[in-house]
């Protein structure tokens, strides 16, 4: 068979004569399910899909171990066709360290949220970065404890309403947010540090690019790589699903700035 | 490339005996048993084990990590163990308190791991045998009496951990860590362990059957429903029950046949109780001793048998009375069970002199003999 494929023509001048169904499989190769159980509008599936696509594109799947923290995203550890090592809340970087040191030929990626990595386990990621541990840590930052139902985390921005800061995060009552990517970038052991988002096609494309660079940094043995991804949580933010991408840009994204904060290989002339 | 992997004990002539303190002998025993990953955080009297592993492990191609806390030490050991690398960590009881959350979940993730407790005194019996963490799990617990026994039991701990895919705790103390003995650390061939085809290598990714090592489930459900914790926890509980049923309890007994009073003690105090009982026997008193070598599984049958023959059972521990509970559960009222131990009087808190005093032990045992003998 040759020639262009044309999708079937569906009349739109009346109600459909059959229920909607998938006409193609858009599920990425390393994801087992075509639908997720997280809330509508959640950004985490987009971020995880981007990560899986990056692993696939770099042909690293047969040497990758994903170390999962505890959060909404943990549900996905069940549905990925990469090896998964489940860690405790906050503790993925040390578990990843042990796996990498024991098997240096593997590619080790942690998947954690801001509650997991910044609130519960801050010292773990900082020490792993300072050690120059040759792993990749991915932080899904929605500025809220999504899984417990929308509570304040260490990354919640000032003014953000959560169930435990109902009038908005107040600097006197609750302290100020930790901007983790900025903190990690200051450590000498960190080789690649980027902050991105998944609230538009453009930001998703930049997220993919950052993930590819981070994994390539690890593959080259160049040191610790870190990608922070701002993700939508309309449920935890108490905003309409369709409003969440704009809310991300105006609130979370206005404090946790996106960009490549550090890339020592670029400074050395290694092309991105 | 391969990982650090299990290294089969080489068949060689038994090495010459050498004067070593316990920490070094334990480190050598771990390496002889195939341990190739160790992570720890300094704390007396565990520190010297970490020192020795940092010195010796790289020479055999292993890795020793200076973890930034006990939380990270156990995390690193967890990650290494998940790759099938024989791994160990440890601390004192205080440091192990920090590790308990991980130790509970490592057990439910069914990973082999050896955990050393170079304890201060004996106040960690409940922590070790009941588990200081959450949920339904058990660790195997072994308590060597001295350096010579530790060299064997530490090696058997790695075999038990690999066989049962379960953490094994080795209970030591300041005396075990710091007493020097002339010992020979010869690798023991424990026989085959089950294949570790569960271990993560990265290689199963992309095959449609990518492996999972998790305390939430043992296999990926590959659906959009997720883990069934009830199924996983019940499977773990069945495994634990089989382990506790099939691992033989170990015990050392002496002079029990006609003993009116049986004295029970574990670990280092067991040696002092043995000496006190022997000297009382020489004076004609009908006393005997029983030393649980495995604390989990507890040698309940041996303790029960001794209790049925005796007029009284005395328990000596350097704590306010912990193992005495297990002795009472084993004796089940067949004889009175008296606690003759006590909290350490050592001002340093390390649980050393003046507690372990054969003269003191003799007086306390004699008191029980006079009331029940």
Predicted confidence at residue A2, as pLDDT, reads 55
Predicted confidence at residue B1, as pLDDT, reads 34
Q: What percent of chain A has pLDDT over 90?
A: 82
Q: Is residue B209 one of the residues assigned to a domain? A: no
ipTM, interface predicted TM-score of the complex: 0.93
Closest Cβ–Cβ partner in A62, A79, A105 for B205:
A62
Region A7-26 average pLDDT:
75
We report the CATH number of the domain holding residue B289 as: 3.40.50.920
Predicted confidence at residue B13, as pLDDT, reads 58
Which of B129, B155, B183 finishes a domain? B183
Region A35-61 average pLDDT:
95
Mean confidence (pLDDT) of chain A: 93
Cβ burial, residue A118 (10 Å; 0-12/13-18/19+) = buried
Question: Is the Cβ pair B222, A78 closer than 8 Å?
Answer: yes
Q: Which of A65, A72, A76, A107 to mutate to test the interface with B (most CBs of B within 10 A)?
A: A65
Which of B153, B183, B213 finishes a domain? B183
Closest Cβ–Cβ partner in B74, B204, B214 for A86:
B214
Q: Which of B86, B136, B135, B146 is nearest to B111 (CA)?
A: B86
Question: Is the Cβ pair B68, A35 closer than 8 Å?
Answer: no
CA distance A263 to chain B (A): 26
Task: Tell whether B104 is within 8 A of chain A (Cβ).
Answer: no
Q: Which domain holds residue B31?
A: 18-183
pLDDT surpassing 50 at residue A144: yes
What residues of chain A, 69 to 128, have a C-beta less than 8 Å from chain B?
Answer: 74-75, 77-88, 91, 93-107, 123-124, 127
pLDDT digits (tens, 9 = 90+) for A214-229: 999 999 999 999 999 9
Q: Is residue B155 one of the residues assigned to a domain? A: yes
| Backbone φ, ψ for residue B287 (5° rounding) | -125, 155
Same domain for B27 and B113, yes or no, is: yes
Q: Is residue B218 one of the residues assigned to a domain? A: no
pLDDT digits (tens, 9 = 90+) for A208-217: 999 999 999 9
Q: How confident is the model at residue A37 (pLDDT cuts 50, 70, 90)?
A: confident
We report the CATH number of the domain holding residue B49 as: 3.40.50.970
- The residue ranking higher by pLDDT, A173 or B224, is A173
What is the DSSP track for chain A? --S---PPP---SS--SS----SS----TTB--SS--S-TT-SHHHHHHHHHHHHHHTT-GGGEEEEE-SSGGGGGGGSBSSEEEE--TT-HHHHHHHHHHH-TTSEEEEEEEHIIIIII-HHHHHHHHHTT-S-EEEEEE-SEETTTTSEE-TTPPTT--BTTBTT---HHHH-----HHHHHHTSTTEEEEEEEE-SSHHHHHHHHHHHHHHHHHHHTT--EEEEEEE---HHHHT--GGGHHHHIIIIIHHHS--EEEEEHHHHHT---
Domains and CATH numbers, chain A: 44-268 (3.40.50.970)
pLDDT surpassing 80 at residue B11: no
Same domain for B179 and B305, yes or no, is: no
Question: Is the Cβ pair A101, B63 closer than 8 Å?
Answer: yes
**DSSP class of residue B129?**
H
Region A98-102 average pLDDT:
98
Q: Which of A255, A135, A120 is nearest to A197 (CA)?
A: A255
Q: Is residue B244 one of the residues assigned to a domain? A: no
Q: Which of A51-60, A205-214, B227-236, B349-358 has the lowest mean pLDDT?
A: B349-358
Domain count, chain B: 2
Task: Tell whether A227 is within 8 A of chain B (Cβ).
Answer: no
Region B166-185 average pLDDT:
96
Predicted confidence at residue A3, as pLDDT, reads 61
Interface contacts (A, B; CB < 8 Å): 176
Predicted confidence at residue A222, as pLDDT, reads 97
Q: Is residue B78 one of the residues assigned to a domain? A: yes
CB atoms within 10 A of CB B26: 30
pLDDT digits (tens, 9 = 90+) for B46-81: 999 999 999 999 999 999 999 999 999 999 999 999
pLDDT digits (tens, 9 = 90+) for B310-364: 999 999 999 999 999 999 999 999 999 999 999 988 888 898 867 789 999 999 9
Question: Is the Cβ pair B101, A67 closer than 8 Å?
Answer: no
Predicted confidence at residue B219, as pLDDT, reads 84
């Amino acid at each position: 068979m040759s020639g262009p494929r044309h999708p079937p023509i569906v009349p739109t001048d009346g109600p459909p004569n059959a229920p909607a169904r998938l006409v193609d499989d858009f599920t990425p190769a390393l994801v087992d399910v075509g639908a997720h159980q997280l809330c509508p509008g959640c950004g985490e599936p987009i971020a995880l899909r981007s990560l899986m696509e990056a692993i696939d594109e770099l042909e690293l799947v047969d040497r990758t171990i994903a170390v999962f923290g505890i959060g909404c995203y943990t549900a996905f550890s069940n549905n990925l066709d990469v090896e998964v090592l489940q860690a405790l809340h906050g503790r993925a970087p040390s578990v990843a360290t042990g796996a990498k040191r024991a098997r240096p030929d593997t590619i080790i990626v942690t998947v954690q949220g801001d509650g997991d990595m910044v609130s519960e386990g801050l010292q773990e990621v900082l020490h792993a970065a300072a050690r120059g541990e040759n792993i990749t840590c991915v932080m899904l930052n929605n500025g809220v404890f999504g899984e417990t139902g929308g509570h304040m985390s260490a990354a919640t921005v000032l003014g953000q309403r959560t169930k435990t800061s109902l009038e908005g995060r107040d600097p006197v009552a609750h302290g100020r947010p930790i901007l983790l990517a900025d903190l990690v970038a200051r450590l000498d052991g960190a080789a690649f540090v980027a902050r991105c988002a998944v609230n538009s096609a453009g930001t998703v494309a930049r997220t993919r690019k950052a993930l590819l660079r981070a994994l390539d940094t690890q593959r080259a043995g160049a040191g610790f790589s870190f990608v922070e991804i701002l993700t939508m949580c309309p449920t935890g933010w108490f905003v309409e699903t369709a409003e969440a991408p704009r809310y991300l840009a105006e609130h979370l994204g206005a404090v946790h700035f996106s960009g490549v904060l550090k890339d020592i290989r670029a400074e050395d002339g290694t092309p991105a | 490339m391969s990982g650090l992997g299990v290294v089969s004990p080489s068949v060689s002539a038994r090495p010459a005996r050498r004067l070593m303190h316990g920490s070094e002998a334990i480190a050598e025993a771990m390496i002889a048993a195939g341990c190739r990953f160790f992570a720890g955080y300094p704390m007396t009297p565990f520190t010297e084990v970490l020192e020795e592993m940092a010195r010796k492990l790289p020479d055999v191609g292993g890795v020793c990590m200076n973890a930034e806390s006990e939380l990270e030490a156990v995390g690193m050991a967890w990650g290494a163990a998940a790759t099938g690398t024989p791994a160990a960590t440890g601390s004192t009881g205080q440091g192990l308190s920090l590790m308990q959350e991980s130790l509970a979940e490592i057990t439910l993730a069914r990973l082999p791991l050896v955990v050393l407790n170079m304890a201060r005194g004996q106040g960690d019996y409940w922590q070790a045998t009941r588990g200081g963490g959450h949920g339904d799990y058990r660790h195997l617990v072994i308590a060597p009496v001295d350096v010579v026994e530790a060299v064997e039991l530490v090696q058997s701990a790695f075999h038990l951990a690999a066989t049962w895919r379960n953490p094994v705790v080795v209970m030591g103390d300041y005396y075990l860590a710091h007493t020097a003995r002339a010992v020979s650390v010869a690798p023991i061939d424990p026989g085959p362990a089950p294949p570790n085809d569960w271990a993560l290598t990265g290689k199963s990714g992309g095959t449609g059957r990518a492996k999972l090592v998790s305390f939430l489930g043992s296999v990926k459900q590959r659906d959009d429903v997720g883990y069934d914790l009830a199924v996983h926890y019940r499977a773990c509980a069945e495994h634990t029950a089989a382990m506790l049923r099939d691992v033989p309890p170990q015990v050392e007994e002496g002079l029990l046949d006609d003993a009116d009073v049986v004295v029970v003690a574990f670990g280092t105090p067991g040696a002092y109780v043995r000496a006190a009982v022997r000297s009382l026997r020489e004076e004609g008193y009908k006393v005997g001793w029983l030393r649980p070598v495995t604390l989990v599984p507890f040698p309940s049958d041996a303790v029960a048998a001794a209790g049925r023959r005796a007029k009284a059972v005395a328990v000596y521990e350097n704590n306010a009375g912990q193992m005495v509970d297990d002795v009472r559960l084993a004796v089940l009222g067949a004889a009175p069970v008296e606690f003759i131990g006590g909290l350490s009087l050592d001002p340093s808190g390390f649980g050393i002199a003046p507690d372990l005093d054969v003269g003191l032990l003799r007086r306390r045992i004699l008191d029980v003999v006079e009331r029940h003998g």
